Amino acid sequence: MNVILTGKTEIHLIKDEPSQLLVNIDMLEALNGLRDAATAEGFHLMIESAFRGFDHQLRIWNAKARGERPLFNDQGIAQDYSKLSPKEILYAILRWSALPGASRHHWGTDIDVYDQSRMPEGYKAQLLPQESLPGGIFYEFHQWLNGSLKDYDFFRPYSADLGGIAPESWHISYAPISNVYQKNLTFELIEQTILETDIELKSIILQELPEIYRRFINI
């Protein structure tokens, strides 16, 4: 199971045909049910992001740690990388991006969704808070999701700000599987994964790992 938990295998995945992305094979039926229900209400549920393997997550992390990708604040506004200390960079990354080996996207049970039917030509979903707030392009879609996710055993793991990952209304998770994986993602597994990885900010990650695990992983 460890290779599934840390995103180092694809044995648990199947292609979701509408999005052409990989999802957990045991989630596909529930996902199709949620998608069909959305269509019946006039929405077009599309997946922006599904499974992300360890190497993909590591590339995202390292690019952000080197200032090659933006670091957003709580409002989704890019910060000035040059004014941040290494520790501030670490927690700025963690606010919006998971530590490689600890991403729920590794499991194939977690997806980022949006309503394609509301998008004007040329628009790309940003997956930022302003899209799902009142007046935002996907506000009505997310209001519908509020009352519909539980019918298909989905939930939002980042629905509230607990001081770790920022609220992400677009991130939904298939509870029957992800809850099992979450319980098995131990501190020791994450620590060993980081020790074996060529990752930016490695020393400070290991130094801060107890706090990282408490705030961003074991939630």
Q: What is the DSSP string of the chain?
A: -HHHHTT---TTEEEETTTTEEEEGGGHHHHHHHHHHHHHTT--EEEEE----HHHHHHHHHHHHTTSS--B-TTSPBP-GGG--HHHHHHHHHHHSPPTT--GGGGTSEEEEEEGGGPPTT------GGGTSTTSTTHHHHHHHHHHGGGGTEE-TTSS--SSSPP-TTEEEEHHHHHHHHHH--HHHHHHHHHTS--TTHHHHHHHHHHHIIIII--
pLDDT at 192: 98
Q: Can you give the pLDDT at residue 111?
A: 98
How many domains does the chain divide into?
A: 1
CATH code where residue 107 lies: 3.30.1380.10
Residue 97: per-residue pLDDT: 92
Amino acid making up residue 118:
R
Give the pLDDT mean for 1-11. Answer: 97
pLDDT of residue 167: 87
- pLDDT above 90 coverage of the chain, percent: 88
Per-residue model confidence as pLDDT tens digits over 55-109: 999 999 999 999 999 998 877 788 888 899 999 999 999 998 999 999 999 999 9
Task: Tell me the pLDDT tens digit for each residue of 164-180.
Answer: 788 899 999 999 999 99
* CB-CB contact of 125 with 131 (8 Å): yes
10 Å Cβ neighbour count for 17? 9
Write the pLDDT tens digit of every residue in 14-30. 999 999 999 999 999 99
Question: Would you state the pLDDT for residue 160?
Answer: 80
pLDDT (0 to 100) of residue 77: 81
Q: What is the pTM of this model?
A: 0.93
Q: Domain containing 157: what range?
A: 2-217
pLDDT of residue 29: 98
Put the strands of the sheet holding 110-115 in their side by side order. 45-49, 110-115, 171-174, 154-155
Least confident of 46-55, 104-113, 163-172, 182-191: 163-172
